[in-house]
Structure 1
Amino acid sequence: MAEHLRVGRDGAVAVLTIDRADKRNALTAGMWAALPGVLAELAADPDVRVLVVTGAGPSFCAGADISDLLGGPDAEDPMAELRRDNLAAQAALRDFPRPTIAMIRGHCIGGGVELATCCDLRFTDPTGVFGVTPAKVGIVYTPTSTRQLMDLVGPATTRYLLYSGELVDAETALRTGLVDRLLAAGDLAGEVRRFAEVLASRSALTQRAAKEVTAALALGGDDPEGVAEEVAGRWYRETIASGELAEGVAAFTGRRDPRFPWTG
């Protein structure tokens, strides 16, 4: 396993922990570069039905390690390699084929927000503190990261966060749509675990289809609805061919838990 990236598994739920607590789990250049490989290994395991991403200790992730920002070999673009690896890590998490949940405590800043917004869902507790801080160091936020943020909180809040770099609390994050659930202190881990088990019990095919359809609609373009219809139609045909739908209906009518056959 890559340094400072720790994976644990409990049944169908995998937990990826950013484990650099003494630095509030700030991500080094090496950690950004290693993330796609770690995620690819988890994605290739059919026994992993849900991925939880979290941080060790009291923080989720304080962003990129500032000491790496100007460390690239190209004097004219010293962030080129870091930007490439950052975008690759985001893509690997965003495209992870099964449901992903960010479990957020404490600081979720900069690159931490990038990782959290790449997850399908974000749960936090009252300690959560959120900020998008490129304006503090003179960085241009990438269009990919900007779109991910804007899809959640809208253009006005995106501008507020990007222009100011100010930190917002967990209640504000919930109100603006940056997080999906705000749990009472002490309840976060237990509720994330319970909800992950719920997700693991549902149809993986339905979840994969929903993930691809929502992604197609979010991308926009000339005909997002048409693209989404094609994606949905392809997955619908797979529900028949795989026996997924037949098992779901049989379980419902038989008042038993389903044993969905599709594993992706």
Structure 2
Amino acid sequence: MDAALLHSVDDGVATVVISHPAKRNAMTAAMWRALPELLDALSADRAVRVLVLTGDGLTFCAGADISSLAGKEDPQALAVLAEEALAAFPKPTIAAIRGFCVGGGSQLAAACDLRFAEEGSSFGVTPARLGIVYPASSTRRLVSLVGPATAKYLLYSAELIGAEHALRAGFLDELLPAGQLERRVAEFARILTTRSQLTQAAAKEFADGRTGRDAHWAAEAAASGDTAEGVAAFLERRTPAFTWTAGG
């Protein structure tokens, strides 16, 4: 089957599927190039409130399809551009992982806000197998999730770790029994669609270390009326009708 990034939008949740079944969903050069453009389109869609990134079938992503990258533009640069576009997506992002999440797959998963995985999944950061210097930005992102010791363990050895290890290390946020990943991710994404986009957008910037935006978010909160609506809805025991949306 052809390698492609598939996507759909349903009830506020955009789902992007990494699909390259012949190579365990390894990312081709064309897929790396296509991801930022797809993310730009989805971020501009006001119907989208949450993004879920997953893999086709029983594998999340086994990394980069080296055969598609040989002799072409710098494969590492392509991966970093895609990773940074995913990290910069202005709405909550969830990686839904089953099977192998290795190399470029781990890069993409780490760039998401949250990572949910199914038991039996495997994780690895594997540039040491190819003599590649892992990008500084990707290394910092990995360290922010798992700490310097585990990041060194993964980068030095290029060994795979199991899902339980990944959960203990802080790479994963939730680990689900077999057969429950899709339902749990759908349930959690639905919860996120009901929450304040204002809160989520500000929290994403603050948690990701962006500074100098305190006054901006205070002004956004004051102008939106969402705080007053949230308090009123709480007191009236009803679902709040927040109006602020990412991108205005």
Same fold (TM over 0.5): yes
Mean Cα deviation higher: 202-211 or 61-70: 61-70
| Structure 1 portions without partners, runs of 5+ | 73-79, 218-226
- Is the CA contact (8 Å cut-off) linking 1:43 and 1:97 kept in structure 2? yes
| Structure 2 portions without partners, runs of 5+ | none
Q: Give the alignment's TM-score, normalised by structure 2.
A: 0.96
Question: Which residue of 2 is the match for residue 75 of structure 1?
Answer: none
- Is the CA contact (8 Å cut-off) linking 2:93 and 2:114 kept in structure 1? yes
Task: State whether structure 2 residue 26 is matched by structure 1 residue 26.
Answer: yes
Q: How far apart, CA to CA, are the structure 2 residues paired with 1:203 and 1:232?
A: 17
SS at match of 1:186: coil
The structure 2 residue matched to 1:140, chosen from 113, 133, 136, is 133
Q: Give the alignment's TM-score, normalised by structure 1.
A: 0.90
Describe how 1:93-242 pairs up with structure 2 within 5 A.
Answer: 93-216=86-209, 227=211, 230-242=212-224
SS at match of 2:74: helix
List 4+ stretches of structure 1 deviating above 6 A: none
SS at match of 2:59: coil
Q: For 1:98-132, what per-residue CA distance to the aligned partner results, in whole angstroms no more than 9, with x for missing partners? A: 00000000000000000000000000011210011
Q: How far apart, CA to CA, are the structure 2 residues paired with 1:86 and 1:152?
A: 19
- Is the CA contact (8 Å cut-off) linking 1:24 and 1:62 kept in structure 2? yes
State the percentage of identical aligned residues: 53
SS at match of 1:216: coil
Q: Match of 1:159, as an amino acid?
A: K
| CA apart distance, 1:69 | 4.2
- Is the CA contact (8 Å cut-off) linking 1:240 and 1:246 kept in structure 2? no
SS at match of 1:89: helix
Q: How far apart, CA to CA, are the structure 2 residues paired with 1:176 and 1:169?
A: 11
- Is the CA contact (8 Å cut-off) linking 2:3 and 2:20 kept in structure 1? no
- Is the CA contact (8 Å cut-off) linking 2:3 and 2:28 kept in structure 1? no
SS at match of 1:18: strand
| CA apart distance, 1:70 | 3.0
Q: How far apart, CA to CA, are the structure 2 residues paired with 1:151 and 1:101?
A: 17
Question: Which residue of 2 is the match for residue 224 of structure 1?
Answer: none
SS at match of 2:213: helix
Q: How far apart, CA to CA, are the structure 2 residues paired with 1:52 and 1:60?
A: 12
| CA apart distance, 1:135 | 0.7
Q: For 1:149-191, what per-residue CA distance to the aligned partner results, in whole angstroms no more than 9, with x for missing partners? A: 0000000001100010100000000000111100111111000
Q: Match of 1:173, as an amino acid?
A: A
Mean Cα deviation higher: 3-12 or 157-166: 3-12
The structure 2 residue matched to 1:87, chosen from 80, 86, 92, is 80
| CA apart distance, 1:231 | 1.7
Question: Which residue of 1 is the match for residue 36 of structure 2?
Answer: 36
SS at match of 2:209: helix
| CA apart distance, 1:84 | 2.3
Q: CA RMSD in A?
A: 1.3
Q: How far apart, CA to CA, are the structure 2 residues paired with 1:3 and 1:139?
A: 24
Q: Match of 1:237, as an amino acid?
A: A
| CA apart distance, 1:83 | 2.3
Q: For 1:187-239, what per-residue CA distance to the aligned partner results, in whole angstroms no more than 9, with x for missing partners? A: 1100000000011100001000000111126xxxxxxxxx2xx3233212211
Q: Match of 1:67, as an amino acid?
A: S
Mean Cα deviation higher: 234-243 or 127-136: 234-243
Q: Match of 1:161, as an amino acid?
A: L
Q: For 1:29-76, what per-residue CA distance to the aligned partner results, in whole angstroms no more than 9, with x for missing partners? A: 11101110000000000110000000001000000012134322xxxx
